[in-house]
Structure 1
């Protein structure tokens, strides 16, 4: 599959985006809910990701439950495709295992109310694209809500670099404990897998994980996975994320759109993050 934009190009943009935040105001930043932040310590470095309960509430509940049980500690990245994703979360470290909990019903799409504003929204064909927190999403136009029973429209996460997706078998409702970090943009996963969060910091770590299908020994692994809220205060990183609904982010997206041209998608945008 041909990738729309190289990892090197996105990395260069990420560096530039961080540099542009110097003039951002305090109001342009938000502090993520520590109950929705995963801190993943790997042998390659730290990955910090934000979960998005609006997009996939049942999957977030499952991930939190397994994290609290230390289920993910020590599990390997057993299937890693360089231009695709890094998969983990299997106690057998083979792709054949899962937790002892029941499989999950798919949350490939979610219902978006008309008062749920997408950050840096834009029209793409008949749909809208933008950001729900840190998660890049596509949505039916809110004008359609007047024709639906619940007065909401369908929306779904886009599998951009850094997005977290839940792995499954052929049955759409077979996700359990395995998940993956996107290394590159892979739009064919949209609406066919559940997107439930996005990496805030550590995409370079995700891309440094040893590739293979299966991965040759020794495999890279998650040493520990914790919610930010559960870390001791003296070990808890302070995280600030640029608010995707604010004017500074809108200006950043407009600049990036002009740089990329007609092929621009919301996957071309790195959200500035400060971790201390």
Structure 2
């Protein structure tokens, strides 16, 4: 009896943690709430960093700085993209990260379909930090090249209404849409 109880506890301990999500309130041309299911079992290191930053309030007030119609909306630059922040600079938004170290890639078999959330990075696969993007449409060329961290479960209409970039490489010109608050949910 004691051995089977220990075995059951060991199985529980090795099971994935309870699902975590994000609730992102967007303001600007798009207004509303996006709910995201984070995939801890697929990208545990990335999810841990995202939830840490969200719990600290680092994402509150961060702009969607790069938005390419038919592709994706990128946000999460807590260094240069946080409105009201000391280093806020719309022309530099997308070049910064957080005070935490960059993350080792956690590539998976998850596909970049509509509503999938991936981590932005430079050409170095191990350079993701705080920035992420939400897919407007499937992008199979990203599969296995970027870390998938979650999926939109509610609010794709809000995602689809985010102000599109009209500058080079999808840069948003003028007043960008903003993540006014980002909360971690169970």
Coarse TM-score class (shorter-chain normalised): 0.7 to 0.9
| The 10-residue stretch of structure 1 (156-165 or 34-43) with the greater mean CA deviation from structure 2 | 34-43
2:121 alignment partner in structure 1 = 168
**Structure number, greater radius of gyration:** 1
Cα deviation per residue 1:98-125 (whole Å; 9 max; x = unaligned)? Answer: 001000000012xxxxxxxxxxxxxxxx
Q: Please say if residues 19 and 37 of structure 2, whose CA atoms lie closer than 8 Å, have aligned partners that are also in contact.
A: no
- TM-score, normalised by the number of residues in structure 1: 0.53
Structure 1 residue 74 corresponds to structure 2 residue 61: yes
Q: Which runs of 5 or more structure 2 residues have no equivalent in the other structure? A: 1-16, 82-92
Alignment deviations for residues 162-212 of structure 1 (CA, whole Å, 9 cap, x no partner) = 000000001000000000011111110000000011000011111100111
2:12 alignment partner in structure 1: none
Q: Does 1:83 align with 2:75?
A: no
Name 2:150's counterpart in structure 1. Answer: 197
**Could you give the per-residue CA deviations for residues 43-86 of structure 1, whole angstroms, max 9, x where no partner exists?**
12100010011110100111111011101000000000011000
Distance 2:171 2:130 in 1: 18
1:35/1:69 CA distance change after superposition, 3 Å? farther
Distance 1:34 1:219, change over 3 A: farther
CA apart distance, 1:227: 1.1
Q: Does 1:185 align with 2:138?
A: yes
Structure showing the higher helix proportion among its residues: 1
Aligned length: 151
Q: Counterparts of 1:206 and 1:163 in 2: how far apart (Å)?
A: 11
More displaced, 37-46 or 170-179?
37-46
Where does residue 37 of structure 1 map in the other structure? 21
Aligned to 2:172: 215
Unpaired segments ≥5 residues, structure 1? 1-32, 110-155, 230-276
Distance of 2:18 and 2:67 partners within structure 1: 28
Counterpart of 1:100 in structure 2 is 99
TM normalised by structure 2 equals 0.79
Q: CA RMSD in A?
A: 1.2
Q: Is the 8 A contact 1:34 1:228 kept in 2?
A: no
Alpha-carbon separation, structure 1, partners of 2:71 and 2:133: 10
